[in-house]
Structure 1
Amino acid sequence: MSKTSSTGKMFAVLLTKHGGIDALEYRTDLEIPTPNANEVLIRVRAAGVNNTDINTRIGWYSKSVTNPTNELENQTLNITCDDASWSGKPITFPRIQGADCCGEIVEVGENINRSRLGERVLVRPIQDVQDNDGFQCLTFGSECNGAFSQYTTCPSTEAYSIQSNMTDAELASFPCAYSTAENMIDRAQVSENQTVLITGASGGVGSAAIQLAKRRNAKVIAICSESKQALVKSLGADQVIGKGSSLIKTLGKNCVDTVLDLVAGNQFTELPEILRVGGRYVIAGAIAGPNVNFDVRTLYLKDLTFIGCTYQPRFVFENIIKYIESHEIKPIVSKTYPLHEIQQAQKDFMAKKFTGKLVLINH
């Protein structure tokens, strides 16, 4: 096996603390991880950038933080809270982040068939843990090292073989965003002819949700900024509403079967109002702010169902693999960067001037 240069070292980006962009340190002198008996070693070819990377880095998941993510990036941060990760448990530093991984298996543990060597794989980003009570999980690149590196390890069961002519960057845009969107849609039981409203529709999860909801023949109403509306509509959205517009004035009350919310923030108050009686509100993000005003009478008088989505059953990621291989979904890669330019990639990510995904590539 030829794993690295003659030095036997690898390059990677270390998250050294909760903090600003300077908390990311690119290194070229790190040891290549050794897979345990049930793991595989992957040569990472591409890794997507996600909100969870930034949220974890700045400590946004801490209950002491109430601001939108983009309001914290340029502030002096002194997050030391034990609840600053998504799981509520302290992150062990240094940590190699990166939930999205496309790569090639280059070594296997002693319990894994060596026929897996050479497989092109995508790593399942939300993984089960031992003694799972139904919702216990970990995020690849959060509770364990992830894909912002030349090499990474994961359980063999979490590395899924992928047969596709897509580029590494295109494939790396799928795991986190599309599995999050598919999980939301599945939990909401979206079906044919239902009306689904998607907030943050130009982002990675939002653009994925448009395609996946249309795959189930739902009617999609998408919310995004004016500059991104043409592309969002090209993904299949039946109606596009400008970011910040009044949903009640535009749509009226009681007109939507399901809301897929990735934003929260100030517009949250309108979302229960536009839901039909018996409708479903599903959330997997709060980039516009985690604390909202809510009249709980709307919840019980309209018999609404509120669903939070983090844990993903295994079939969700297996669905994404099937959709890719059957050409039912397409990647939306806005820009790629070499891994050593991760700081610039995250700055561009926070500027939100793109549609779809930003991806880091390893040459």
Structure 2
Amino acid sequence: MRAVVQQRYGPPSVLRTTEVDLPLPGPGDVLVKVGAASVHLGDYFVMTGKPYVLRLVFGLRRPRHGIPGRDFAGVVAAVGKHVTAVRPGDEVFGWSTAGTLAEYACVPADHVAPVPVGTSLVEAAAVPTSALTALQAMRDVAKVGPGQTVLITGASGGVGSFAVQIAKALGAEVTGVCSSRNVDLVRSLGADHVVDYTRTDFTRAESRYDVILDNVEAQPLAAVRRALTPAGTLIPNSGRGGRWLGPLARIVRARVLSGFTRQHLKPFASVEKPRDLLTLADLLTTGQVTPVIDRICPLDEAADALRYVEAGHTRGKVVVTI
């Protein structure tokens, strides 16, 4: 099968499209013919091996899995002998730790969910990691509900575009922060208010918010906290930091600060929960969540897709078709 492969850590130029062996599903696995795979900033970090702390998980000297990519949507080609929930021919979406920028991916059966009727494979592939992060941040960490005010920075990006919609679905009054060119997009996602950061610094405005999901490290934590209510919740979901710890440095600072204030500083890492895939499928089915697709690239242009994501100006998601 054709796949994007990397033999060492490095920039997108280390990627090559080549022929590799077809993976074989184990007893509890599903073999999926991948139709589309989305890429996000985490894929870029894993590809480069920076921050270096990532190598403790993904391989010290070279990537443990030579095929990049995590999110996908496709058609089940074969199932292991213990799999009963899906069968060949079913359209599914989900995530794989073994790489998805390939014609086929082998996935544990509990890492997939049915693609909702009316949702394309491209749209479904855009969902798993980014929408899961948004869902868990809004529902589980901040416990957003009716009557709360929520501000989301990077509201037009991968996580942000889902977070705006999910916060609205949970009943919140939502303010999105974005650039001038994305104001109409963020408003179309359901935001009640939109702040153009090129004209207004939300940290110096009068409004205060019960919850802030900070997807863009454009302001210091102390400045962002000024826009919180006295007992509000700040979720820092950003920060590139240095080559060793990367975003972890900002997470550590938030953890330390949280012990000295009534405000709740809650950095978190999303957890891949199969039931949350089903929740996202329901939100897609009801139309409460619609993926925003920025670019669609063929497999041979996967390196360009990752370069574009790393630049940090995506409108929604970047999807690679196989």
Does 1:154 pair with 2:92? no
Q: CA deviation at 1:12?
A: 0.5
Secondary structure, aligned partner of 1:202: coil
* TM norm structure 2: 0.88
Runs of 4+ aligned residues of structure 1 deviating over 4 Å after TM superposition are 85-89, 291-299
Asked if 2 retains the 8 angstrom alpha-carbon contact of 1:12 and 1:26, the reply is yes
Looking at structure 2, the residues matched to 119 and 322 of structure 1 have their Cα atoms a distance apart, in angstroms, of 17
Match of 2:81 in 1: 110
Looking at structure 1, the residues matched to 315 and 37 of structure 2 have their Cα atoms a distance apart, in angstroms, of 17
Structure 2, unaligned runs of 5 or more? none
Match of 2:40 in 1: 50
Match of 1:247 in 2: 202
Which letter does structure 2 place at the counterpart of 1:61?
Answer: P
Structure 1, unaligned runs of 5 or more? 1-9, 63-82, 126-139
Match of 2:8 in 1: 17
Q: 1:320 aligns with which of 267, 280, 292?
A: 280
Q: 2:226 aligns with which of 257, 260, 273?
A: 273
Which letter does structure 1 place at the counterpart of 2:54?
Answer: A
Deviations 1:335-360 (A, max 9, x none): 21111111121222233444111110
Looking at structure 1, the residues matched to 258 and 74 of structure 2 have their Cα atoms a distance apart, in angstroms, of 47
Match of 1:163 in 2: 116
Does 1:206 pair with 2:190? no
* TM norm structure 1: 0.79
Q: CA deviation at 1:33?
A: 0.3
Match of 2:72 in 1: 101
Looking at structure 2, the residues matched to 314 and 58 of structure 1 have their Cα atoms a distance apart, in angstroms, of 28
Secondary structure, aligned partner of 2:155: coil
Match of 2:310 in 1: 350
Match of 2:50 in 1: 60
Taking a change above 3 Å as real, the CA distance of residues 112 and 148 of structure 1, as seen in their structure-2 partners, is same
* Bigger Cα displacement from structure 2, 84-93 vs 218-227: 84-93
Alignment of 1:256-267 (within 5 A): 256-267=209-220
Q: 1:174 aligns with which of 127, 131, 144?
A: 127
Q: 1:40 aligns with which of 17, 25, 30?
A: 30
Asked if 2 retains the 8 angstrom alpha-carbon contact of 1:247 and 1:270, the reply is no
Asked if 2 retains the 8 angstrom alpha-carbon contact of 1:272 and 1:299, the reply is no
Taking a change above 3 Å as real, the CA distance of residues 84 and 307 of structure 1, as seen in their structure-2 partners, is closer
Q: CA deviation at 1:267?
A: 3.8
Deviations 1:99-144 (A, max 9, x none): 2110111111122249611110011x3xxxxxxxxxxxxxx3xxx3
> What RMSD over aligned residues (CA atoms) do the two structures have, in Å?
2.5
Taking a change above 3 Å as real, the CA distance of residues 299 and 275 of structure 1, as seen in their structure-2 partners, is farther
Q: CA deviation at 1:167?
A: 1.9
Looking at structure 1, the residues matched to 217 and 57 of structure 2 have their Cα atoms a distance apart, in angstroms, of 19
Taking a change above 3 Å as real, the CA distance of residues 221 and 60 of structure 1, as seen in their structure-2 partners, is farther
Q: 1:227 aligns with which of 169, 177, 181?
A: 181
Looking at structure 1, the residues matched to 192 and 143 of structure 2 have their Cα atoms a distance apart, in angstroms, of 19
Deviations 1:75-113 (A, max 9, x none): xxxxxxxx2348476464452121211011111112224
Which letter does structure 2 place at the counterpart of 1:316?
Answer: D
Alignment of 1:120-139 (within 5 A): 120-123=91-94, 125=95
Looking at structure 1, the residues matched to 111 and 258 of structure 2 have their Cα atoms a distance apart, in angstroms, of 41
Count of aligned pairs = 312
Deviations 1:210-242 (A, max 9, x none): 000011121111111222112111111122223
Taking a change above 3 Å as real, the CA distance of residues 332 and 21 of structure 1, as seen in their structure-2 partners, is same
Secondary structure, aligned partner of 1:337: strand
Secondary structure, aligned partner of 2:163: helix
Taking a change above 3 Å as real, the CA distance of residues 285 and 87 of structure 1, as seen in their structure-2 partners, is farther
Taking a change above 3 Å as real, the CA distance of residues 114 and 310 of structure 1, as seen in their structure-2 partners, is closer
Looking at structure 2, the residues matched to 216 and 179 of structure 1 have their Cα atoms a distance apart, in angstroms, of 15
Which letter does structure 2 place at the counterpart of 1:97?
Answer: P
Q: CA deviation at 1:315?
A: 3.0
Which letter does structure 2 place at the counterpart of 1:99?
Answer: R
